[in-house]
Structure 1
Amino acid sequence: MLRSLSRWPLSFLLSALLALLPLSSAERIIQSNSLNPCQANSSFSATLFNVAFTPDNRTLTFNIVGVSAIAGNVSIVAEVYIYGYKAITEKIDPCTQDALKGLCPMNTGSITINSNYPDISKSVIKQIPGIAYTVPDLDATIKVYINSTDTNEPLACVEAELSNGQTVDHKAVGWVTAVIAGIGLVASAITSGLGHSNTAAHVAANALSLFGFFQSQAMFGITAVSQPPIVASWTQNFQWSMGIIRVGFLQKMATWYQRSTGGTPTTYLSSLSTTSVEVQKRGINIGQLATRALGRVYSRSNSAATNAENQNRVVLHGIKRVGFRANIEITNIFFTAYAFFIIFVLLVIFCVVLFKFICEGLVKAGKMKSDKFTDFRNGWKTVLKGIMFRIILIGFPQMIVICFWELTVRDSAAEVVLAIFTVVIMLAILGWASSKVIRIAQRSILMHKNPAYILYSDPIALNKWGFLYVQFKATAYYFIVPFLIYILIKGMFIGLAQGSGVVQAIALVLIEASFLIGISVLRPYMDKKTNGFNIAIAAVNFLSSIFILVFSNVFNQPGLATGIMGVIFFVYNAAFALVLLLMVLISSGFALFTKNPDTRYHPMRDDRGSFIKSQTQLTTELDALGATARGEGKGQHRSRTGIDDDDDSLSSESMDRTHLATKEGNFGAEPPRSPINPSMPLFPSQGGSPPAAAPSGPPPTYYNRSNGASPVPRVQSSHSTSGNSYQQYPRAGSLRSEATSQGGAFRAQNNSSPWQRGAGYDH
């Protein structure tokens, strides 16, 4: 019997872990509010079923209203399954039980049983392990077989899901996770506005990774795989990240929009009296009420003559199951998720504009120093563009899944067109932005042998496109492309393969394994801590995908193994989510309330700190070069144009010179030149002669289209073509050598250049 189950080490461990959770109630109880047929042509169905068992007072209370097509004496066999394990088998003779006198004999027509069954045998109570009363979302069912006493022929079979009143599906969990993820994003934005770019990059990277983990949890929950109750309830907490949130007026709007565009809305929630809506659970269809916290569904009938064959039954899985548990009509799921994404975009725009006017008002009123949020106040439109791109990146997984799923269900013609339009636009925007970053980085490498120079020295490029690459090291600027491909393929399988849970499970294992291997080998993120943070998330997602594959029953494992693995899935994901939340919350607190939060982080080895304008003054050899690149010299004003043009990622100035030289017959066009003022001290720590006076005009910049003379000294080349000599511009390496020689100290010829130090070239 099940008493031996409590002696298993794994069960004991799970009981100890779950005992730490605040899920215990004042009174132990096992109850059920649904009854569904488990046999074809069952001769008995229930229109009302309420059963409660309280072991403390050994009482079984039940209230049953049903319809019977059975006449004569019957015997009842009850089987209790806990996590797929048959715990109890009990044979009952209704004629010997006072509480079941109404079933001896059974008659056709309506049957009503309302009674208490006191003094349950202690031996029966002892067979139920203690974890059955404490484990949330208990995976237990009871099957009742009604057999003919004369022929022993099975006449009917009904099953009920049992609950102990505990669940891990709480609105508070969703609110807390959403608020902490939002705090991380807001903290990174404020910190960046205050000039602490290093801290802002770390906090933003961790917050985005945390949000991505929540979306992964939600994706596991919306797969078509039949999941244990505790897994379904846990992943339901994160469906807010997919936009599946019920709001009353939004549901009315969605229904109106669908009807007005030629669709036919479903009415499952409003027709529970005549429709038995069931959700998948480990291959067993269990009725669930959407209007109660436990998510069960009463299967009622207004007519006592209605039997099981005449009742409508609907089985939901995947996205439909999640939407139904959120009390959203099936045909309103797409519109709801889409509307919340649009609302989020508009809300962010409003907040950014409001913050701009608040800052200006505080500065004019003298309540805030004029040097606070200077870059944001001067270039808030560019910052807003970058924020919009970041929101598109955040909502990309959600919209890919929902839009591709809409192509399969086709709620209405207008919604299908909306889904196609949204997918194409998002792919085009993110694809264009990724190609822009790659071209800018390649141009920086070509001109300066370092991708970080242009990617981080230009505030316009950093504010607009930085959302794609700041979380990666400079030499891994391209990794945003594999990341987007990973999200796209994963979302397509979840959205398009809702008809086959096994296909989704296998695909998720392969996709998560590939991504884990990729980031473990490449380690593309900015530093060791960020790499470890994201590798840990990828490892947990890969492990979860293996669990989802097991839940798909592809291995035909026993039900007990599936039930125990469901509890394990919840325990390790809940613990890992708690750790991530605390890490993001602590880092956000340090970023907001520490005077100089950049001191908590080591400078990145790709030398981005020397090029980013920051409140923290570094003392690297590239600081003066970074200041020159940003135009921060005395009397210098940075003027960059063309950042929004297509050619801002190509060396347009050098291309113009090449075209002019070719036109004049000079095929030996000069290579791209570096906009470095050699009079700036590149090695302050090495001493040297004082620098020359800074030029009064603006410095040469990366995006200037001016064809004026370059301040960089030209070196006459001995090569010529057709008698025309051309001038070659020194690169950053030769400029650095000149600055060093002016100070009287030459760098050893075999020493590695600081251009290449830490940028990934030494690996």
Structure 2
Amino acid sequence: MRLPTSIALPFFGVLVAGQSVLRSTSLNSCQDVSGFEASKFDVVFTPNNNTIAVRMVASSSIEESVVFDASGYAYGYEFLHKVINPCEVGLAGFCPMQPGDTSNRPFSITLSPEAGAAIPQLAYQFPDLDARIKVFINSSTTGASLACLEARISNSKTVDLIGVKWAAALVVGFALLSSAVISGLGHANAASHIAANAVALCSYFQAQAMIGLTGVTLPPAAQAWTQDFQWSIGIIRIDWMQRIFTWYQRATGGTPSQLFFSLGTVSVQVSKRSLQPAYGLAKRAAAMMPASFLEHATKLQRRGNVKNSSGSYVVTGIQRVAYRAEIESTNLFLTGFTFFCIALLFTAIVVSLCKAFCELAAKMKWIKGDTFVDFRNGWRVIMKGILYRITLMGYPAVTLLAFWEFTQNDSPAEMVLAVFFLIYTTGALGWASWKVIQISRRSVSLHQTPAYILFSDPHTLNKWGFLYIPFRASAYYYVVPLLAYHLVKGMFIGLAQNSGIAQAIAFILIEAGALIAASVLRPWMDKKLNSFNISIAVVNFLNAICLLIFTNVFGQPALVNGVVGVVLWLLNAITTLVLLIFCICSTAFVFFRENPDGRYRFMSDERASFMKSTHSLSAANQLDALASTARGEKTHGIGLDDDEGDRSASSQSLQRRPESMARPSTGTSAGHNSWRDSRSRIAPTLPFAGNGHGASPLNPGSGRNSPIKQLNVQSPTAASTHSGPPSPAYRSQNNSSPWQRGAGYDHAS
């Protein structure tokens, strides 16, 4: 059965841009009771030879004279409305229309050169144009609608490009790798800024991907753009992996979907608002069937495998993303979780290989003996910190995929995996957050600032620093609302796939809360990072507003949705480009500076005064002993961890104190406790010949809220009262009291 040429022509005239090819892959029913259904519809128009190739499987129950009421839309704007009488144009089989089925045999329609030239060139250039044609088949006697058909046209030009995906992924990976290298060289301040930019950029990519995962109907441009960032939550197709996932699901009692094996005979409809009546008809038809069949149909419906009344498959939300990625919906959960595990395993292997290479390079004299010394001595703790960071970055994907699997129940084994990974990631990050809060509270009680223990203890910094380094010291708690933000967002995406309006409203409330918190608290470590993250929060909030508009809750004209879809694409494309350029430049500039830390101001929380910096210590070796005493490296750790093995390995990365600075022997335990209590309030120092930023031992008043203002250092006389005077040999060796060494005391006789 052929569609009238006069209907097909204007339909293709507004189509989306492509490689000089215009195509429609589904003919959708747009009313509850339709006398004409097409389960397979594939139409391709080639302007080079003005030929329309048609492949269709359809059935008709109409047996009377009809007229075609055709309308064409571009971005919701009706550009065409024409009533066609098939008897007047001599269409065989339509005058009158005869019941029956069509075969899957392809046929073609040749248009006149004038008709092909009438198609606007914009249709071949603009990516992801939103164009469709709707045809009502009406009775010529009563005027009643006997059938309604709708076809959407696409082309090969799209913003869903592999180059965009690789560029975004490589920039994030390059920034994270650069941060690790710079940190290993001892430039902690620069490394923390680069890592914070990379994590924020990856979080923005995930937010865009989540827009595409919602159950809301999205315009073609928004669908294609959000598909560019699905890699950030692990939705990546690899053929041999997909075969393994299908086998695993069968082996564990599941029933894999076979959507892509059916494309030769059926069409797949990406859900649109006009399809919902037909979808409801399929539900009502299923309700009249036996209970066993209904249970099986419901299970398939959740997996995106149920047919609507026309015999086509319908995909929406997460299933829509899986279909565009050419992944079976039943394999999507395993795909995301497998790449999360691969990221953890790959990171552990790379860190171990880097440790082995550094040791070999130092042994072979390829690098200096003190190069990467912190990493080489404390690599186990550093690895734990990196794995925690990867877990934090993958937490949004884990939550939404786990909650979605709870609604799918693809197999018992996959349900167990979903429960395990959700508990593991939430528990691990919750435990880490609680440890940071406990350590910060202890630091405040002992040193009047949370920054002291958080940044002076190498074990705490390497293991838990990923949670608080991007923020100022007083905002150490901000990771808790951040985790809650990801958890709640994942719940709405995974559990509310059938309610797009609820998801859109929830997104507005969640993103508004995140924007207000970021703007009011400004928790990040400096102004640039605050501006970076607030800009991302603003764009995410605007995306949530666009998502609510797409639900048609306001009853706006379809033209509004089309325009807003293009606006969302352009807004996020420009924002992504700006953020990528900023991240690339800020990372690249660091490698061209002799002192990368000098590019950034010291934070007002005085963290640089407490952190061990290879650059600063090399300029003031005489301060090593005082810094070691202040940090307490040869005693118990400062933090609250019980992992003594890791702590001892981490502390080896710090330079040992010279024997001349050994702790004086104590006469009583009370004297020992008094000595520890007094030295615990001595802040680690920066080089005296610095750049003027931060505090120094000779300038205790510099910096806001400097803990050095509250030093309570006992004099040598007072110290001797508790712990006994130093031995004569000790004094003769050092020529002065150990508390009177360094700058300002060297001239004393």
| TM-score (ref. length: structure 2) | 0.77
2:250 corresponds to: 259
Which of 111, 134, 146 aligns to 1:117? It is 111
Question: Which whole-Å CA distance do the structure 2 matches of 1:363 and 1:309 have between them?
Answer: 67
In the TM superposition, residue 336 of structure 1 has moved relative to its aligned partner by: 1.2
By how many angstroms is 1:42 displaced?
Answer: 2.4
The structure-2 alpha-carbon separation of the partners of 1:672 and 1:314, relative to structure 1 and needing over 3 Å to count, comes to: farther
Q: Could you tell me which residue of structure 1 aligns to residue 507 of structure 2?
A: 508
Q: Which residue of 2 aligns with 1:178?
A: 169
What is the match of residue 628 of structure 1?
626
State the distance in 1 between where 2:232 and 2:679 align.
45
1:45-64 aligned within 5 A: 45-46=37-38, 49-52=41-44, 59=50, 61-64=52-55
Instruction: State how far apart, in whole Å, the 1-side matches of 2:675 and 2:633 are.
Output: 26
The aligned residue for residue 6 of structure 1 is none
Q: Kindly indicate whether the alpha-carbon contact (under 8 Å) linking 1:80 and 1:88 is maintained by their aligned counterparts in 2.
A: yes
Q: Please give the per-residue CA displacement for 1:128-167, whole angstroms capped at 9, x wherever unaligned.
A: 7765443321111111222333444433222110124321
Residues 499/208 of structure 1: CA separation in 2 closer, same or farther (3 Å cut): same
Mapped partners of 2:555, 2:218: distance in 1: 14
Question: What amino acid is the match of 1:269?
Answer: F
Counterpart residue type for residue 511 of structure 2:
E
Q: How does 1:517-666 map onto structure 2 within 5 Å? A: 517-617=516-616, 628-631=626-629, 638=634, 640-641=636-637, 645-646=641-642
2:28/2:310 contact within 8 Å kept: no
More deviation, 677-686/532-541: 677-686
Distance, in Å, in 1 between the alignment partners of 2:481 and 2:510 is 12
Equivalent-residue separation in structure 2 for 1:213 and 1:402 (angstroms): 18
C-alpha separation between the residues in 2 aligned to 1:580 and 1:464? 28
Deviations 1:73-109 (A, max 9, x none): 43222211112222101222334446x4453443333
Change (3 A) 1:628 1:375: same
* CA drift at 1:69: 3.1
Q: Equivalent of 2:679, from 661, 675, 680?
A: 675
For 1:104-143, what aligned pairs fall within 5 Å after superposition? 104-111=95-102, 114-118=108-112, 125=118, 131-143=122-134
Determine whether 1:236 maps to 2:242. no
Q: CA contact under 8 A between 2:453 and 2:639: conserved in structure 1?
A: no
In 2, distance between residues paired with 1:90 and 1:52?
22
Q: Residue 374 of structure 1 aligns with which residue? A: 373
Q: Cα distance 1:102–1:495, how it changes in 2: closer, same or farther (>3 A)?
A: same
CA distance, structure 1, for counterparts of residue 579 and residue 351 of structure 2:
27
Deviation at 1:38, TM superposition (A): 2.1
Residues 637 and 679 (structure 1), Cα distance of their counterparts in 2 relative to 1, 3 Å cut? closer
Task: Say if 1:739 and 1:223 are closer, same or farther in 2 by CA, change over 3 A.
Answer: farther
Hey, what's the Cα distance between the residues in 2 that align with 1:588 and 1:643? 31
What's the offset of the Cα at 1:585? 1.3
- 1:119 & 1:681 partners in 2: Cα distance? 82
Decide whether aligned partners of structure 1 residues 272 and 413 sit closer, same or farther in structure 2, where only a CA change above 3 A counts.
Answer: same
Secondary structure at the residue paired with 1:415? Answer: helix
**1:432-453 residue CA offsets vs partner (Å, 9 max, x unmatched):** 1111111212222222222222
Instruction: Kindly state the Cα deviation for residue 267 of structure 1 after the two structures are TM-superposed.
Output: 1.7
Q: Which blocks of at least 5 consecutive residues in structure 1 are unaligned? A: 1-22, 288-307, 649-665, 692-709, 717-724, 727-737, 745-763
State the match for 1:470 in structure 2. 469
Q: 1:262-277 maps to which residues of 2 (within 5 A)?
A: 262-277=253-268
How many positions carry a matched residue from both structures? Answer: 635
Structure 1 counterpart of 2:189: 198
Q: Does 1:92 align with 2:108?
A: no
Question: Which deviations, in whole Å up to 9, do the C-alpha atoms of 1:246-305 show, x marking residues without a partner?
Answer: 122222222222222222222222223455432223554799xxxxxxxxxxxxxxxxxx
User: What is the one-letter code of the residue matched to 1:230?
Assistant: A
Is the 1:610–1:623 contact (alpha carbons within 8 Å) kept by the matching residues of 2? no
Q: For the Cα contact (< 8 Å) 1:51–1:62, is it kept in 2?
A: yes
Q: Offset of 1:590 from its aligned partner? A: 2.1
1:34 counterpart letter in structure 2: S
Please list every run of 5 or more consecutive structure 2 residues that lacks an aligned counterpart in the other structure: 1-15, 279-306, 645-669, 691-696, 698-712, 724-738
Q: Which residue of 2 aligns with 1:658?
A: none
Q: Confirm or deny: 8 A CA contact 2:17 2:129 kept in the other structure.
A: no
Whole-angstrom distance in 2 between the partners of 1:672 and 1:564: 68
Rounded to whole Å, the distance in 2 between the matches of 1:391 and 1:330 is 25
Partner of residue 358, structure 1: 357
Residue 733 of structure 1 corresponds to: none
Residue 68 of structure 2 corresponds to residue 76 of structure 1: yes
C-alpha separation in 2, matches of 1:184 and 1:603: 21
> 1:191/1:210 Cα in 2 relative to 1: closer, same or farther (>3 Å)?
same
1:621-642 deviation digits (Å, cap 9, x = unpaired)? x999897344599xx9756548
Counterpart secondary structure, 1:617? helix
**Equivalent residue number for residue 159 of structure 1:** 150
Identify the residue that residue 188 of structure 1 maps to in structure 2.
179
Alpha carbons of structure 1 residues 374 and 277: separation in structure 2 relative to 1, 3 Å: same
> Which residue, 230, 235, 240 being the options, matches 1:249?
240
Paired AA for residue 28 in structure 2: N
Separation in 1, partners of 2:17, 2:626: 64
Q: For 1:396, give the aligned amino acid.
A: Y
Distance 1:619 1:336 in 2: 48
Where 2:385 maps in the other structure, the secondary structure is helix
Distance (whole Å) between structure 2 residues aligned to residue 602 and residue 642 of structure 1: 27
Query: Which structure shows the bigger proportion of residues in helix conformation?
Result: 2
C-alpha separation between the residues in 1 aligned to 2:266 and 2:250? 22
Shift of 1:431: 1.3
1:155, 1:637 → 2: CA distance?
Answer: 85
What is the distance in 1 between the residues matched to 2:683 and 2:560? 73
Query: What is the letter of the counterpart of residue 45 of structure 1?
Result: E
| 2:736 alignment counterpart | none
C-alpha separation between the residues in 1 aligned to 2:683 and 2:426? 46
Deviation at 1:597, TM superposition (A): 1.8
Kept in 1: contact 2:44–2:54 (CA 8 A): no
After TM superposition, give the deviation of residue 176 of structure 1 in Å. 1.3
Query: What letter is aligned with 1:170?
Result: L
CA change 1:680–1:167 in 2 (3 A) is closer
Q: Deviations over 1:442-486 (max 9, x none)?
A: 222222222222111121111111101110111111111121111
Instruction: Give the direction of change, closer, same or farther, for the CA distance of 1:577–1:642 in structure 2 (3 Å limit).
Output: same
Offset, 1:226: 1.1
How many angstroms does 1:429 deviate by? 1.1
Distance in structure 1 (CA, Å) of the matches to 2:55 and 2:378? 69
How large is the Cα RMSD of the aligned pairs?
3.8
The amino acid that maps onto 1:182 is G
Change in CA separation of 1:681 and 1:594 when aligned onto 2, cut-off 3 Å = closer
Tell me the distance in 1 between the aligned counterparts of 2:75 and 2:497.
25
Q: Could you say which residue in structure 1 is the equivalent of 2:727?
A: none
Post-superposition offset of 1:671: 12
State the SS of the aligned residue for 1:556: coil
DSSP-derived class of the 1:34 partner = strand
Counterpart of 2:707 in structure 1 is: none
Deviation of 1:61 after TM superposition, in Å, equals 2.4
The answer (yes or no) to whether the contact 1:318–1:498 under 8 Å persists in 2 is yes
What does residue 326 of structure 1 align with? 325
Tell me the equivalent position of 1:31. 23
Per-residue displacement from partner, 1:157-189 (whole Å, max 9, x unpaired)? Answer: 221101243211112211111111111111100
CA distance in 2, matches of 1:24, 1:147: 31
Letter in 1 for 2:677: R
* More moved, 609-618 vs 506-515: 609-618
Match of 2:362, SS state, is: helix
3-state secondary structure, aligned to 2:271: strand
Contact 2:382–2:463, Cα closer than 8 Å, also in 1:
yes
Q: 2:204 aligns with which of 206, 209, 213?
A: 213
CA contact (8 A) 2:630 2:680 kept: no
In the superposition, the TM-score normalised over structure 1's length comes to 0.75
Distance of 2:675 and 2:78 partners within structure 1: 79
Q: Percent identity?
A: 46
Matches of 1:56 and 1:603, distance apart in 2: 64
Distance 1:233 1:310, change over 3 A: closer
